[in-house]
Structure 1
Amino acid sequence: MTVQSRRQFLASAAGLVIGVALPLKGRAQSGAAAALGDGTLAEGAFAPNAFIRIAPDNTVTVLSKHIEFGQGPYTGLATLVAEELDADWSQIRAEAAPADDELYANLAFGLQGTGGSTAMANSWMQMRQAGAAARAMLVSAAAEEWGVDRATIQVEKGVVSDGTSSATFGELAEAAAGQSVPVEPAVKNPSEFTLIGTDRPKVDSRAKSDGTAQFTMDVYRDGMETVVVRRPSVIGATVASFDDSAAREVPGVVAVHRIPQGVAVYATSTAAALKGRAALEVEWDMSEAETRSSQEIFADFREMANGEAMEAERIGDAASAIDSAEIVHEAEFLFPFLAHAPMEPLDAVLEVRGGKAEIWMGAQFPTADKGAVTQVLGLEPENVTMNVMLAGGSFGRRAQPTAHIGVEVASIAKARGGDGAWKLVWTREDDLTGAYYRPITLHRMRGGIDADGNITGWENRVVNQSIVAGTPFDQGGLDRTSVEGAIEMPYDLPNLAVDWVKADLPVAPLWWRSVGHTHTAYATEVFLDELLEKAGKDPVQGRLDLLKDEAGRDRAVLERVAEMAGWDGTKVKGDRAYGVALHESFQTYVAEIVEVSDAGGYPKVHKVWAAVDCGVAINPNVIRAQIEGGIGYGLGTILHNALVLGEGGEVQQKNFDTYRMLRIHEMPQVEVAIIDSGADPTGVGEPGTPPIGPAVANAWRALTGQSPRELPFAQAGV
């Protein structure tokens, strides 16, 4: 079959959509992005479904519907396919799937997107079935070609054989393309796994190490202009007027235009664009701006906490139980705005030619960004192409329900007019002052203890913005992301009341690594530890005694981490103290114990023991890396990070000199134990982060008697 005839075949073939289950009918060669770059396949290639492409050179490319920014979905999804395909790991490749909600929807969201630690959880059976279907078609092709019974054929490490004849996947690819697609392909019993559950090197590590991996900043188009945008230093301010005469005199600056996001400077280089932006004179309209300082916002939150609230969870009568308790304990926890600060700031490339547009960006919700460009430019969806690029981190920053980067780069193109290519670049200063933050939050808590040391009542009132309000995820009423982790706790508390007070600010709130759990874990696990201390109970055994489920996964990780750390109930040993925290997020259970010393009035974390139950461990190497990374990210945050609004609302932190990240010498030794589990896999990108803060706080209190109430520790005067 010639390339041209194959293209004609593909154009007429019915598409195969793999969702929760394989479709009832369909032919091969659908859906998968193709090597020729125009929606067709190279001669002799085999695309059994939307997720797999097998080339004549025997490489197997897995199309990932989830963006890769270091958390490992390329490797995890490829492992699922390779396992069921019985491929050799050396032949596996991975790349980003195109933007297509029908083919590549996150089954947890209903649209194409990455977030909430859902990549492996929603793809577990989908990708295995995709691999199993491809394997079945290769086997059928071999059986037909050799004239043997399918039952006599075995597949091992990328070789199909009946004991007499053998062929590689690449050799069978063209013949397999003509086979019927299995409707319900059988998948392996876990006892048959050879790849799942074993350490495998990441499929993208080599390219990232040798510089061949392509990020958005690596994309260059003919005649491309680099664009930076002047934005306000006070959140919510808008352009009243501007003078661009000096900016236009900067060599390399080719245009200056006002866009909804600010004033855009177009230039032949990044340096020229930045110099032009610095030369702009802008008057800002402050009428809708957030001019309060962070401390003024906290003061207002304290008042709001006294008012009406939305009920999040109720058990018994908490107020009466606390009021009549032998010991009443109260605490107020303050959490600052946080920036995500990924190492690669936001960027995007957009090219418009002849009524068609093509985008390159690290899009976490690619169809949303594609849709934004389509709408702003007034194009038909079929005339807009989205290329999902590798990205240098995210931590939630690229998951934009408002698609504001897609809107911004399209606004830049629209303002310039005509055909052309533009690269939008955000600097670190743009990123930190850009107002897409983890919401500033207050927790006000009360607890009661009886004469026998039992916790009789628990109250928690949370005040913050809704992250989902006004987005497609908004279902009205309670925003569970504001209270997740503070409700439905694993502890058996007879009387409990959790409430939420919704605050409205002109700051764009955005999910930050572990979303609500980033503050709820700290507030609940520190407060619980303090109650156990006042009751004279061991922090590990006290938690175990409170757990509802005698055989629960919470109990298993807590017992395992206590065993790992050699916990004997002694919280202080010489100059070292030990603290514990337990938290479930995104259906993954994590317990952590830390070893801390006092380094001149500041916590020095020497070691962290972590036990994690995330269901089936698809790739233990990736799981350990994500837990370690989550611990480092969370530790740096609770020790150093805050986006503070100063007098008049101006953001005080503008770069890493003031938004201090964890230094390499501050990273503790981390030991991770993965609980053996037969449960379906859950997420690991975020769950390692929530427990580290409270574990450190609990160890620090044991060592010094201080219990930081306002994060970061530096902010609390520690």
Structure 2
Amino acid sequence: FEFPFLVHAPMEPLNCVVEYKPGESCVIHSGSQMPTNDQRAAFTVLGLKPEQVTVVTHVAGGSFGRRATPDADLVTEAANVAKAINGKAPVKLMWTREDDIRTGKYRPMNIHRMTARVNNGAIEAWGDRTAIQSIMEGTPFLPPGTPDFSSIEGSNDIAYAIPNISVDVHLVKHPVPVLWWRSVGHTHTAYAKEHFFDVAARKAGKDPIELRKQLLAGDARQLGVLNLAVEKAGALPAGQTRGVAVHHSFSSYVAEVADVTVNADGTFKVERVVCAVDCGTVINPDVVRAQMEGGIGYGLSAILGEALTIKDGAPVQSNFFDYTPLRMAQMPKVEVYMVASTEPPTGVGEPGVPPIGPAVANALLAATGKTYTKLPLGTKA
């Protein structure tokens, strides 16, 4: 399975304002995901004490990990400008979209080599070998000598009751700057795991949904969202094909059912997605619903049309005309159902993203018999 570099591509370009009074104070206005890290960058550049730097955190017009950088690149640049002019005026720094797409940080390109032993209608062994550039290596988030589990999260804790499971990762050194992207390692591990599961299930002569239920019998919460999503999806509409995926990430459980129309010319459209989520005790149902809907749109955008390519050492794409996020006409109808729970509340900002890719790929597999090993899928099945 081949996964390309991905850009975060928020609608609001990166921006911040730095107000600097030499030797006295600094106020940062930014839609930051890591205010403490931005504070550290500013007091380091400006020679101030931590308590002299205030961060005013604003609502951001999208981020998806891009405003959470270990090197605090945006604030570091703005602080250096403020220092250069000796605080004579507030500094507003705004990157263009071209700046961010062509000189930013990306979800790392990676490859999964999936293997399985199928015998007498059962999956007896499962292998997942990944080659990827580490996001955490060299940052304060990964002490030296510590394994980077973010590269294989979602594959190293596979819930299916398969007797023999092997998961390993090979970290590749590469000069392209990388960063976590909405749902981090789950962006690729869920796709490889869930799409390959359907391939293996069909090889074993089993219905993929029923085999999932069988192998998830020991995981009540993952089985619970699977059952709920399948129940709410109901009968498959005539002329459509269906795929299912279920995944655990950020302590939450999400299953998604994708109904897809495949046209005679090979083009396809995702018509409807039914999502079931178990995120523990639901504090605000509207927030859960919005995050699942947004996550599904974001993940669908990536698997259908997004890829950053490198040519002669530089990114090719520069804006939304050649790096192509999902258009409104491509967005399917989305239904979200929440599992009633008394468990502690868990994440909803990221868990909606991972299952949509394999759910769509599994729908296409059901229609065409093909395995979809290279992303993005494009417009034809």
Per the normalisation by structure 2, the TM-score is 0.96
Deviation at 1:620, TM superposition (A): 0.7
1:644 aligns with 2:312: no
The structure with more radius of gyration: 1
1:670 aligns with 2:334: yes
Q: Give 1:595's aligned residue.
A: 259
* Alpha-carbon distance in 1 for matches of 2:39, 2:134: 25
- Selected match of 1:423 from 80, 92, 96: 92
Deviation at 1:439, TM superposition (A): 0.7
Q: Give 2:73's aligned residue.
A: 404
Q: Is the 8 A contact 1:597 1:703 kept in 2?
A: no
Deviation at 1:431, TM superposition (A): 1.4
Q: Give 1:34's aligned residue.
A: none
1:693 aligns with 2:362: no
1:557 aligns with 2:221: no
Q: Is the 8 A contact 1:351 1:419 kept in 2?
A: no
Q: Deviations over 1:254-288 (max 9, x none)?
A: xxxxxxxxxxxxxxxxxxxxxxxxxxxxxxxxxxx
* Alpha-carbon distance in 2 for matches of 1:561, 1:443: 27
Q: Give 1:455's aligned residue.
A: 123
Pairing of 1:78-157 with structure 2 (within 5 A): none
Give the counterpart letter for 1:667 in structure 2: M
* Alpha-carbon distance in 2 for matches of 1:410, 1:418: 10
Give the counterpart letter for 2:313 in structure 1: G
Give the counterpart letter for 1:613 in structure 2: D
Q: Is the 8 A contact 1:354 1:419 kept in 2?
A: no
Q: Give 1:437's aligned residue.
A: 106
**Higher mean C-alpha deviation, range 557-566 or range 352-361:** 352-361
Q: Give 2:177's aligned residue.
A: 508
Q: Give 1:682's aligned residue.
A: 346
* Alpha-carbon distance in 2 for matches of 1:338, 1:518: 10
* Alpha-carbon distance in 1 for matches of 2:303, 2:171: 24
Q: Give 2:54's aligned residue.
A: 385
Q: Give 1:653's aligned residue.
A: 317
CA RMSD of aligned residues (A): 1.5
Deviation at 1:626, TM superposition (A): 0.7
* Alpha-carbon distance in 2 for matches of 1:374, 1:546: 53
* Alpha-carbon distance in 1 for matches of 2:187, 2:50: 37
Give the counterpart letter for 1:499 in structure 2: D
Deviation at 1:477, TM superposition (A): 3.2
Q: Deviations over 1:209-228 (max 9, x none)?
A: xxxxxxxxxxxxxxxxxxxx
Q: Is the 8 A contact 1:353 1:420 kept in 2?
A: no
Q: Is the 8 A contact 2:22 2:86 kept in 1?
A: no
> Matched residue of 1:688: which SS?
coil
1:446 aligns with 2:115: yes
1:536 aligns with 2:201: no
Give the counterpart letter for 1:586 in structure 2: F
Per the normalisation by structure 1, the TM-score is 0.51
1:619 aligns with 2:288: no
1:497 aligns with 2:166: yes
Unpaired runs of at least 5, structure 2: none
Q: Deviations over 1:664-704 (max 9, x none)?
A: 11111111110000000001011111000000000011112
* Alpha-carbon distance in 2 for matches of 1:636, 1:576: 21
> Matched residue of 2:229: which SS?
helix
Give the counterpart letter for 1:453 in structure 2: G
Deviation at 1:705, TM superposition (A): 2.3
Q: Is the 8 A contact 2:255 2:277 kept in 1?
A: yes
Tell me which of the two structures has the higher relative contact order, counting C-alpha pairs closer than 8 angstroms and 6 or more residues apart: 2
Deviation at 1:418, TM superposition (A): 4.9
* Alpha-carbon distance in 2 for matches of 1:336, 1:428: 20
Pairing of 1:22-61 with structure 2 (within 5 A): none
Deviation at 1:371, TM superposition (A): 1.1
Q: Give 1:576's aligned residue.
A: 240
* Alpha-carbon distance in 1 for matches of 2:285, 2:26: 41
Q: Deviations over 1:3-54 (max 9, x none)?
A: xxxxxxxxxxxxxxxxxxxxxxxxxxxxxxxxxxxxxxxxxxxxxxxxxxxx
* Alpha-carbon distance in 2 for matches of 1:713, 1:576: 18
- Selected match of 1:346 from 3, 9, 14: 14
- Selected match of 1:360 from 29, 34, 45: 29
Q: Give 1:566's aligned residue.
A: 234
Number of residue-to-residue matches in the alignment: 378
Deviation at 1:434, TM superposition (A): 2.2
Q: Give 2:83's aligned residue.
A: 414
* Alpha-carbon distance in 2 for matches of 1:702, 1:688: 22
The runs of at least 4 aligned residues of structure 1 exceeding 4 Å deviation read none
* Alpha-carbon distance in 2 for matches of 1:341, 1:613: 28
> Matched residue of 1:633: which SS?
helix
* Alpha-carbon distance in 2 for matches of 1:622, 1:381: 34
Deviation at 1:382, TM superposition (A): 2.6
- Selected match of 1:466 from 134, 142, 145: 134
Q: Is the 8 A contact 1:490 1:548 kept in 2?
A: no
* Alpha-carbon distance in 2 for matches of 1:506, 1:435: 13
Q: Is the 8 A contact 2:241 2:262 kept in 1?
A: no
Give the counterpart letter for 1:464 in structure 2: I
Deviation at 1:549, TM superposition (A): 1.1
Q: Is the 8 A contact 1:371 1:381 kept in 2?
A: yes
Q: Give 1:609's aligned residue.
A: 274
Deviation at 1:539, TM superposition (A): 1.2
Deviation at 1:378, TM superposition (A): 1.1
> Matched residue of 1:682: which SS?
coil
Q: Deviations over 1:484-536 (max 9, x none)?
A: 00011110111111001011111221111110001000000000110001111
Q: Give 1:376's aligned residue.
A: 45
Unpaired runs of at least 5, structure 1: 1-332
